[in-house]
């Protein structure tokens, strides 16, 4: 049976001596704490295989820069490639989720194989629009790889998916750290550190920058402390411990 928010609360209760952190309206503050953890875990720039999705449902039309997708689960673009009529695949290296791209000319002399792509408009839970740099000069299949948006917790019975149960040491420790903070317990930072350490141990597919962003957010400390924690984890991995 998959872990739920209630599972985490059952674990946390043993440490905070049964003090209720889900007794307010809407099971607060437990609901918001859990949502905050999942947001930071799955939000940009974190990329995970278990949160990845693909779409190749659209093709370019000659001279048209903009394409709209009605994908409710979209979070942010990770990779984009184009497949031409001969089956050759061209990866677009420059991808922008926040920065815009301007309109360019669509006459034949200005058309090209697109060299960049941006999310130009986004309605969370409904749709998003992408814009290519350069109006396409031919018909290409658009291949999107994207991370799905984190779903907000609404009830204690909600699961932690798509985060695997094997990552429970991360979210349980982070949740416990915030629970300690709610009840003004000095152990809050200790369990945040344990949660971050568990994250660094499992985030082998992430870049150092992504790991540092996560560590800095949860440790609420200096960049130097987060970097030191990351270097320590790298040293352990290098020794094969």
Q: Which tens digit of pLDDT belongs to each residue from 93-142?
A: 999 999 999 998 888 888 999 999 999 999 999 999 999 999 999 999 99
Residue 38: pLDDT over 50: yes
One domain, residues 57 and 141: yes
User: For residue 179, is it within any domain?
Assistant: yes
Distance CA(230)–CA(199), nearest Å, equals: 10
Q: Which helix (H) or strand (E) holds 238?
A: helix 223-238
One domain, residues 144 and 157: no
Distance CA(55)–CA(46), nearest Å, equals: 19
One domain, residues 168 and 107: no
One domain, residues 28 and 107: no
Per the structure, the count of domains in the chain is 2
One domain, residues 144 and 61: yes
Residue 240: pLDDT over 80: no
In whole numbers, what is the pLDDT of the chain averaged over residues? 90
Strand residue runs (E) in the chain: 52-59, 66-69, 74-83, 89-92, 94-96, 116-123, 127-132, 141-148
Q: Cα 224 vs. chain centroid, distance in angstroms?
A: 24
In the listed set 148, 180, 203, which residue is the last one of a domain according to the structure? 148
User: For residue 33, is it within any domain?
Assistant: yes
The DSSP output letter for 24 is B
User: For residue 65, is it within any domain?
Assistant: yes
In the listed set 124, 148, 172, which residue is the last one of a domain according to the structure? 148
54 confidence band (pLDDT: 50, 70, 90): very high
One domain, residues 229 and 167: yes
Distance CA(8)–CA(35), nearest Å, equals: 13
pLDDT digits (tens, 9 = 90+) for 149-190: 999 999 999 999 999 999 999 999 999 999 999 888 999 999
Look at the block and give the residue holding tokens 């090209």. 112
One domain, residues 83 and 127: yes
DSSP 63-89: T--EEEE--TTEEEEEEEEEE-TTS-E
Confidence (pLDDT) at 231 = 52
In degrees, to the nearest 5, what angle opens at C-alpha 13 toward C-alphas 9 and 18?
Answer: 130
236 confidence band (pLDDT: 50, 70, 90): very low
pLDDT digits (tens, 9 = 90+) for 213-233: 999 999 875 444 445 545 544
User: For residue 191, is it within any domain?
Assistant: yes
Of 146 and 234, which is predicted with more confidence? Answer: 146
The DSSP output letter for 136 is B
Residue 109 has phi, psi (to 5 degrees) of -70, -20
In the listed set 117, 148, 179, which residue is the last one of a domain according to the structure? 148
Rg for the chain, CA atoms, rounded: 22
Distance CA(77)–CA(166), nearest Å, equals: 26
One domain, residues 127 and 56: yes
Distance CA(169)–CA(158), nearest Å, equals: 18
Confidence (pLDDT) at 225 = 46
Burial 153-163 (b: 16+ CB within 10 A, else e): beebebbbebb
One domain, residues 184 and 217: yes
User: For residue 117, is it within any domain?
Assistant: yes
Closest CA to 48 of 234, 195, 200, 204: 204
Domain ranges, residue 97:
51-148
Taken in order 83, 99, 217, 160, the sign of the CA dihedral is: negative
User: For residue 241, is it within any domain?
Assistant: no
Look at the block and give the residue holding tokens 């209760």. 13
User: For residue 185, is it within any domain?
Assistant: yes
One domain, residues 67 and 15: no
Residue 104, token pair as written in the block: 């360019």
One domain, residues 140 and 156: no
One domain, residues 98 and 129: yes
User: For residue 240, is it within any domain?
Assistant: no
Confidence (pLDDT) at 235 = 46
């Amino acid at each position: 049976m998959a872990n739920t928010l209630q599972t985490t609360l059952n674990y946390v209760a043993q440490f905070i001596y049964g003090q209720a952190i889900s007794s307010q309206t809407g099971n607060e503050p437990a609901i918001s704490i859990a949502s905050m953890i999942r947001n930071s875990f799955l939000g940009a720039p974190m990329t995970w295989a278990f949160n990845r999705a693909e779409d190749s449902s659209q093709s370019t039309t000659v001279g048209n820069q903009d394409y709209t997708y009605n994908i409710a689960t979209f979070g942010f673009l990770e990779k984009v490639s184009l497949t031409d009529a001969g089956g050759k695949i061209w990866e677009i290296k420059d991808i922008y989720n926040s920065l815009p791209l301007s309109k360019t000319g669509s006459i034949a002399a200005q058309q090209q194989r697109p060299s960049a792509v941006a999310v130009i408009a986004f309605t969370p839970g409904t749709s998003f629009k992408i814009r290519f740099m350069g109006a396409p000069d031919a018909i290409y299949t658009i291949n999107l790889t994207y991370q799905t948006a984190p779903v907000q917790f609404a009830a204690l019975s909600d699961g932690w998916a798509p985060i695997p149960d094997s990552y429970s040491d991360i979210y349980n420790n982070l949740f416990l750290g915030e629970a300690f903070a709610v009840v003004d317990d000095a152990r809050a930072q200790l369990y945040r550190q344990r949660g971050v350490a568990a994250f660094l141990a499992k985030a082998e597919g992430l870049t150092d920058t992504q790991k540092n962003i996560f560590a800095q957010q949860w440790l609420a400390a200096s960049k130097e402390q987060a970097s030191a924690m990351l270097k320590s984890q790298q040293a352990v991995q290098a020794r094969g411990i």
